[in-house]
Amino acid sequence: MQKRENGIWDIIRLNEFGKLVYYNPEEQLRGLKRIEVDPQIQLLAPEIRELRKREFKSHLERRQAALFCYAMSQLLEQKLEYAYSEKSDYDCVARWIDNDVQHFTPIQLKEVHHIRTVSQINVEISKLGKYTDSEDMVVAMWVNGYFHANLNEIVVPPLHLGGLWLYGSLSSFQDNWVLYGDLLKLPTVYEWKYPV
Whole-number Å distance between alpha carbons of 181 and 80: 17
Q: Write the pLDDT tens digit of every residue in 47-75.
A: 555 555 566 566 678 889 999 999 999 99
Q: Write the pLDDT tens digit of every residue in 131-155.
A: 887 888 999 999 887 666 678 888 9
Query: pTM for the complete prediction?
Result: 0.84
Give residues with Cβ within 8 angstroms of 94, minimum separation 6.
Answer: 1, 69, 72, 80, 81, 82, 104, 105, 107, 138
Mean pLDDT of the chain, nearest integer: 82
174 pLDDT higher than 60: yes
Ramachandran angles phi, psi of 93, nearest 5° = -130, 130
Beta strands in 99-196 (DSSP E): 101-113, 134-146, 161-169, 176-181, 188-193
Q: Write the pLDDT tens digit of every residue in 75-105.
A: 999 999 999 987 677 899 999 998 888 889 9
Query: What sign results for the dihedral spanned by CA atoms 55, 178, 109, 195?
Result: positive
Residue 55 burial by Cβ neighbours in a 10 Å radius (0-12, 13-18, 19+): exposed
163 pLDDT higher than 80: yes
